[in-house]
Amino acid sequence: MTGTLTPVQSKSNKAIFIIGILFFIFGFVTWMNSVLIPYLKLACELNNFQAYLVTTAFYLSYLVMAIPSAWVLKVTGFKNGMSIGLAIMALGALMFIPAAMTRTYP
């Protein structure tokens, strides 16, 4: 019986693979935040404090949204919670386009 996977093991491997992909996506978005800072400084003519305030706000959101996110996961479950998280990330990425076009930093 070595070398064959039972249906439960196969389903478990698929779930772990999907979770790994999701962690890669979330990590990539976090990494892109730091890469975009020099371009944000140029586009909006920011000083260092203003540019790094963007990163500070990004990481403070983890602190502020921890409890509401836990509530969402409790209500929707982990699978739907991850889907909601990806949808919010996509919405935030789409909102970046008009914000970048205005080139202002209110």
**In this structure, is residue 2 part of a structural domain?**
no
pTM, entire model: 0.63
Distance in angstroms between the alpha carbons of the first and the last residue of the chain:
64
The model's pLDDT over 29-68, given as tens digits with 9 standing for 90+, comes to 888 888 888 888 888 888 888 888 888 888 898 899 899 9
**In this structure, is residue 18 part of a structural domain?**
yes
**In this structure, is residue 98 part of a structural domain?**
yes
Does the pLDDT at position 101 exceed 90? no
**In this structure, is residue 43 part of a structural domain?**
yes
> How many structural domains are present in the chain?
1
**In this structure, is residue 26 part of a structural domain?**
yes
**In this structure, is residue 70 part of a structural domain?**
yes
Q: Which residue's entry shows tokens 């739907």? A: 80
Residue 105, class by beta-carbon neighbours within 10 Å (0-12 exposed, 13-18 middle, 19+ buried)?
middle
Domain housing 66: 7-102
